[in-house]
């Protein structure tokens, strides 16, 4: 699983690159308001919402701290696949994933440290391994997308070949989701009653905030979907890693595990709704 997960994610990103052109990224860069809206939602509003929910719902200290760890994490790389399946603006989603992952070197220690200090009464210092994290981002996100772009530009696969690869990537994505659920099923069942409502509200509110900010900066429907998915699809794997490997407290990983289940259910609902209707911008 340790090796198959990054390989599978890299294949998914490669398939996304096959469906993109450089012009897609140029259109994103000439609309800085879209990127700014995504960054504000991810880096400021999402942790603020998690903090408010933890206080309002009176979560136990470790559950509240775990929720803050999740909220500190950047968007997951699978957000690009979900955005693609939901007929969203994939280039915007990938761009935001890359940006928030890079900023995470600063934002994650700040948010997680504040959450631990406030909720768990500990000043535990979180220091992300800069080199390995940057290398993982490069290998799992940027290089596969660049390879996909290059193959698409060469015309070697052709439309039929691209469709086959993208269908295979959708299967890989589904297998990753199922494997994650199976691996952490007992923990999810045990803690779902206490943490589930907060995770569900966090997911619903952040997706709504993303879509709302997209409307505020006058994005079309595909752009609003991209922002909603970027805000709602968190990098739960990073949250689990921080809780278990960095802090040595597996119980802090429970919100990330439960959120992984709920965010995929809501994502599939959006995909079904978007694909049930006609292909349109809004």
pLDDT confidence of residue 213? 92
The pLDDT of 47-70, averaged and rounded, is 92
Phi and psi at residue 275, to the nearest 5°:
-80, -15
Residues above pLDDT 70, as percent of the chain: 85
pLDDT at residue number 71: 93
Identify whether the C-beta of residue 106 lies closer than 8 Å to the C-beta of residue 240: no
- What CA–CA distance (Å, rounded) separates 109 from 115? 10
pLDDT band, residue 281 (cuts 50/70/90): very low
State residue 124's pLDDT score.
47
Phi, psi of 217 (to 5 degrees): -95, 15
Q: What is the mean pLDDT of the chain?
A: 81
In the prediction, which pLDDT does 167 show?
84
pLDDT digits over 207-235, tens only?
Answer: 999 999 999 988 888 889 999 998 999 87
**Topology adopted by domain 4-276:** Na+/H+ antiporter like fold (1.20.1530)
CA–CA separation, 67 and 257 (whole Å):
10
pLDDT at 97 over 90: no
Per-residue pLDDT tens digits for 129-176: 556 656 666 777 778 888 888 898 888 888 888 888 888 887 887 777
Structure tokens given for 63: 């559950």
Beta bridge partners of 75: 234
């Amino acid at each position: 699983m340790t090796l198959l997960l990054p390989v599978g994610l890299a294949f998914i990103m490669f398939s996304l690159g096959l469906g993109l052109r450089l012009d897609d990224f140029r259109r994103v860069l000439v609309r800085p308001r879209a990127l700014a809206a995504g960054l504000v939602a991810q880096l400021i509003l999402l942790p603020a919402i998690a903090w408010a929910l933890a206080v309002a719902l009176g979560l136990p200290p470790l559950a509240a701290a775990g929720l803050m760890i999740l909220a500190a994490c950047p968007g997951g790389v699978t957000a690009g696949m979900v955005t693609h399946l939901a007929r969203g603006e994939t280039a915007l989603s990938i761009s935001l994933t890359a940006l928030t992952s890079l900023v995470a070197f600063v934002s994650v220690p700040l948010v997680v440290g504040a959450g631990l200090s406030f909720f768990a009464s500990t000043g535990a210092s979180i220091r992300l391994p800069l080199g390995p994290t940057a290398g993982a981002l490069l290998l799992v996100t940027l290089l596969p997308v660049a390879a996909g772009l290059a193959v698409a530009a060469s015309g070697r696969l052709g439309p039929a070949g691209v469709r086959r690869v993208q269908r295979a990537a959708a299967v890989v994505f589904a297998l990753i989701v199922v494997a994650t659920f199976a691996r952490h099923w007992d923990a999810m069942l045990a803690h779902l009653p206490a943490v589930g409502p907060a995770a569900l509200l966090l997911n619903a509110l952040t997706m709504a905030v993303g879509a709302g900010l997209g409307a505020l900066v006058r994005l079309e429907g595909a752009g609003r979907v991209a922002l909603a998915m970027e805000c709602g699809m968190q990098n739960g794997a990073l949250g689990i890693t921080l809780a278990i490997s960095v802090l040595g407290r597996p119980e802090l990983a429970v919100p990330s595990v439960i959120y992984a289940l709920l965010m995929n259910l809501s994502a599939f609902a959006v995909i079904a709704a978007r694909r049930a209707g006609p292909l349109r911008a809004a």
